[in-house]
């Protein structure tokens, strides 16, 4: 009985080792064995299903705010010409519409101030005071978040909404992808001030994204282009083994 | 020599949950260390003095954990499903089967656990009452399940700090929840070291029971209490006053001397008869080894 029991146990153990070997030798997708990618996508579907725009990242008293460490310089141009800079907003492929928005135009949108936690995927977090405009307001102004291209507020026409937003730096070297629900979340800002002062180059001057419902990797610094699309956009860190959704 | 009798000790369910949990928890801890490395800020500090840093340089030289955050997260967010489902099913089974009566601490447990510690350190000389799980074990095996629930909750709190902001808030916020999650993981390592030491001390017959489910009982006198288990077939062991004593040996398992090897059980002797004994569960747990 003892022998039989250990043979069964040993076989189960070998099967487990075999399953492990199988898993780690699968072809890679975005730097991960594809079965792990499938699980991350499953987790994403659960998260997307459970996502509620009414849930906010906790906000803190202004006095708690600090400047976060400078982390991640990919795509940053420290000597960017702020007079020439525009943010290019692009709509769905069949419209090919694009708008060039100046910083002044962004500042003319309703100003939002919030003090929220920046949660880096590395594991550290800092409470930061941000000021900017809602990405949803910018999308409404351009009308480019809708499939029809009609300049309607995307928040009021959910069926017409494109599925994704993507942002990239002016040089195209850093880029992130967002699901539209997170992009249009009330706390997702195109931000031009941190700690009450205009952005410095190392923090993404003149305009950066801050999106507290995601890990910090999605808070792209130095916005060059904002694109709304039905095609799931590429994401720099998702190509390097990280979860594409990265949502909190 | 009296023929040895096999005594059923651990159900198939218990054994499955146990042996699934072992590698799954190992993967969770390993992948967790890969994640932790990316912001390895915890240390034990007293006053201004750092007593121990998590982790020292030699640890990072010994284990290849650096620059594997993405990999760690992928494994962690995959195996979390196995860990959580296995854990929840185990707790549900323990409740449904009645085995919780042998595991959950009762009003005697703390005093008994103290006696176990004294006994294991050699300070207490008298033998301990023979049970399936002694007081120290009840605390350990219930406590570690509580820790598992804590890891699940603190993990969720740092995984979804916006969608589950209420949970993260109860736990003290994002930063603190991460530290709590890490502390619990360290707790499993401490548990594991003690567990392996005690299982080794308890001997082959005891370990084997967690694989094949049965233990060799010896024909000896004296009585011991076992709690009634709700579903028949799981309660084994017997009570009968029998004269004489013998050490049980089997061809397969060799001989065990319960006294020296048993966790918290000194040289006690067990009676061997057919049939089951039901005893008031409130007065004591079942006998057994680590």
Task: Give B133-177 pLDDT, tens digit per residue.
Answer: 999 999 999 999 999 999 999 999 999 999 999 999 999 999 999
| pLDDT value at B38 more than 90 | yes
Binary contact (A57, B39; C-beta < 8 A): no
The conformation of residue A59, written as its DSSP 8-state character, comes to B
Whether A219 and A211 have beta carbons less than 8 Å apart is answered as yes
- Residue A188 has a pLDDT of 98
Residue A61 · residue A115 · CB < 8 Å: yes
**∠ CA A213-A216-A217 to the nearest 5 degrees?**
115
Q: How confident is the model at residue B132 (pLDDT cuts 50, 70, 90)?
A: confident
* Residue A207 Cα to chain centre, angstroms: 15
Q: DSSP character for B281?
A: G
Name the packing angle between helices B12-37 and B69-97 (round to 10°).
Answer: 150
pLDDT at B130: 81
CB distance B70 to A240 below 8 Å: yes
CA A169 to chain centre: 13
Q: Is A150 left (phi over 0), alpha (psi -120 to 50) or beta?
A: beta
Q: Would you state the pLDDT for residue B271? A: 38
B173 CB neighbours in chain A (<8 A) are 58
Q: B260 pLDDT band (50/70/90 cuts)?
A: very low
Encode pLDDT of A64-76 as tens digits.
Answer: 999 999 999 999 9
Residue A209's DSSP bridge partners are A190
The pLDDT assigned to B59 comes to 97
- Reported residue count of chain A is 248
Contact B98, B57 (CB under 8 A): no
d(CA B68, CA A74): 19
Taking the Cβ of residue A241 and every Cβ of chain B, the question of whether any pair is shorter than 8 Å is answered with yes
Nearest to B216 by CA among B229, B207, B227, B225: B207
Q: Give the residue carrying structure tokens 């070297």.
A: A173
Residues in chain B: 290
Domains defined for chain A, CATH in brackets: 5-240 (3.90.420.10)
pLDDT at A122: 98
Beta strands in A107-188 (DSSP E): 112-119, 125-134, 164-168, 175-179
Cα of A232 to nearest chain B Cα, Å: 20
Q: How many CB pairs under 8 A join A and B?
A: 95
Per residue in B92-107, pLDDT (tens digit) is 999 999 999 999 999 9
Which residues of chain A lie closer than 8 angstroms to B174, CB-CB?
117, 119, 125
Q: Do A55 and B23 count as a contact with CB atoms less than 8 A apart?
A: no
Average pLDDT of the residues in B18-38: 98
In chain A, which residue ranges form alpha helices assigned H by DSSP? 2-24, 34-50, 103-108, 135-142, 180-183
| Predicted pLDDT at B240 | 39
Q: Which residues of B46-67 are buried (b: 16+ CB within 10 A; e: fewer)?
A: eeeeeeeebbeeeeeeeeebee
Model pLDDT, residue A151: 61
| A117–B74 C-beta distance less than 8 A | no
Chain B residues lying within 8 Å of A242, measured CB to CB: 70, 73
Q: Which of residues 183-222 of A touch B (CB under 8 A)?
A: 212-213
Asked if A189 contacts A64 with a C-beta cutoff of 8 angstroms, the reply is no
CA distance A137 to A70: 28
Work out the pLDDT band at B236, boundaries 50, 70, 90.
Answer: very low
Please provide the average confidence, as pLDDT, over all residues in chain B.
81
What ipTM was estimated for this complex? 0.94
Residue B155: per-residue pLDDT: 98
Map residue A168 onto helix, strand or coil.
Answer: strand
The pLDDT score that the predictor gives to residue A153 is: 63
Q: What is the largest CA-CA distance in chain A?
A: 83
Contact B165 A55 (CB under 8 A): yes
Q: How far is B271 from chain A (nearest CA, A)?
A: 22
Contact A32 B252 (CB under 8 A): no
pLDDT score of B253? 41
Q: What pLDDT, on the 0 to 100 scale, is given for residue A97?
A: 66
User: Within chain A, which residues score under 50 in pLDDT?
Assistant: none
Of B39, B70, B168, the CB nearest to A240: B70
**Contacts of residue B219, Cβ cutoff 8 Å, sequence gap at least 6:** B2, B3, B4, B5, B242, B244, B245, B246, B248, B271, B272
For chain A, give the percent of residues with pLDDT over 90: 84
pLDDT at B228 over 50: no
Share of chain B above pLDDT 90, in %: 69
User: Would the pLDDT of B249 be above 80?
Assistant: no
Q: In what order do the strands lie in the sheet with A175-179?
A: A98-101, A87-90, A225-229, A164-168, A175-179
The confidence score (pLDDT) of residue A148 equals 74
**Nearest Cα to Cα of residue A163 among A174, A179, A150:** A179
Element of type H or E holding A194 = strand A189-194
Q: Which of A18, A28, A58 to mutate to test the interface with B (most CBs of B within 10 A)?
A: A58
Give backbone dihedrals phi and psi of A101, rounded to 5 degrees, phi first.
Answer: -110, 135
Contact call for A121 and B69, based on CB within 8 A: yes
Confidence bin at B220 (pLDDT 50/70/90): low
Please check the confidence at residue B85 and state whether its pLDDT lies above 80: yes
Half-sphere exposure of A213 (CA within 13 A, CB side): 23
Which domains are delineated in chain B? 5-288 (1.20.950.20)
For position A181, what pLDDT does the model report? 95
Hey, is the C-beta of A242 within 8 angstroms of any chain B C-beta? yes
In angstroms, the separation between the Cα of residue A188 and the nearest Cα of chain B is 13
Q: End-to-end alpha-carbon separation of chain B, Å?
A: 26
């Amino acid at each position: 009985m003892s022998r039989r029991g250990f043979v069964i146990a040993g076989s189960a153990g070998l099967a487990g080792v075999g399953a492990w070997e199988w898993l780690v030798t699968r072809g890679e997708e975005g730097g991960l064995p594809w079965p792990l990618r499938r699980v991350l996508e499953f987790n994403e579907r659960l998260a997307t299903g459970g996502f509620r725009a009414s849930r906010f990242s906790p906000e803190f008293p202004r006095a708690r705010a600090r400047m976060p460490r400078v982390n991640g310089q990919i795509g940053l141009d420290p000597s960017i010409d702020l007079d020439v800079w525009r943010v290019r907003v692009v709509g769905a492929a069949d419209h090919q519409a694009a708008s060039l928005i100046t910083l002044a135009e962004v500042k003319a949108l309703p100003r939002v101030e919030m003090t929220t936690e920046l949660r880096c995927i590395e594991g550290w977090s800092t409470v930061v005071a941000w000021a900017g405009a809602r990405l949803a307001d910018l999308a409404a102004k351009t009308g480019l978040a809708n499939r029809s291209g009609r300049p309607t507020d995307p928040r009021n026409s959910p069926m017409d909404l494109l599925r994704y937003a993507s942002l990239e730096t002016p040089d195209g070297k850093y880029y992130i992808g967002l699901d539209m629900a997170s992009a249009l979340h009330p706390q997702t800002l195109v931000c031009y001030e941190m700690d009450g002062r205009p952005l410095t180059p190392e923090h993404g001057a003149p305009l950066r994204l801050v999106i507290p419902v995601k890990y910090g990797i999605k808070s792209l610094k130095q916005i060059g282009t904002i694109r709304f699309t039905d095609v799931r956009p590429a994401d720099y860190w998702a190509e390097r083994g990280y979860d594409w959704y990265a949502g909190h | 020599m009296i023929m040895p009798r096999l005594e059923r000790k651990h159900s198939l369910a218990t054994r499955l949950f146990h042996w699934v949990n072992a590698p799954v928890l190992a993967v969770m801890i390993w992948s967790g260390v890969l994640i932790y490395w990316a912001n390895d800020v915890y240390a034990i500090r007293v006053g201004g003095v750092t007593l121990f840093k998590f982790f020292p340089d030699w640890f990072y030289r010994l284990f290849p954990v650096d620059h594997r955050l993405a990999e760690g997260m992928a494994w962690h967010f995959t195996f979390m499903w196995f860990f959580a489902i296995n854990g929840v099913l185990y707790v549900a089974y323990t409740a449904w089967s009645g085995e919780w009566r042998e595991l959950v601490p009762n009003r005697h447990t703390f005093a008994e656990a103290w006696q176990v510690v004294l006994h294991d350190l050699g300070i207490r000389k008298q033998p301990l009452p023979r049970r399936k799980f002694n007081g120290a074990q009840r605390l350990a095996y219930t406590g570690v399940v509580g820790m598992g629930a804590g890891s699940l909750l603190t993990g969720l709190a740092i995984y979804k700090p916006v969608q589950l902001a209420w949970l993260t808030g109860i736990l003290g916020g994002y930063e603190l929840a991460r530290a709590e999650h890490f502390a619990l993981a360290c707790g499993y390592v401490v548990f594991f070291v003690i567990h392996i030491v005690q299982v080794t001390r308890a001997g082959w017959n005891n370990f084997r029971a967690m694989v094949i489910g049965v233990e060799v009982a010896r024909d000896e006198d004296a009585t011991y209490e076992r709690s009634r288990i709700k579903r028949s077939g799981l309660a084994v062991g017997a009570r009968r006053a029998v004269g004489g004593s013998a050490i049980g040996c089997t061809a397969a398992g060799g001989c065990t001397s319960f006294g020296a090897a048993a966790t918290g059980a000194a040289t006690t002797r067990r009676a061997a008869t057919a049939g089951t004994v039901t005893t008031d569960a409130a007065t004591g747990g079942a006998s057994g080894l680590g």
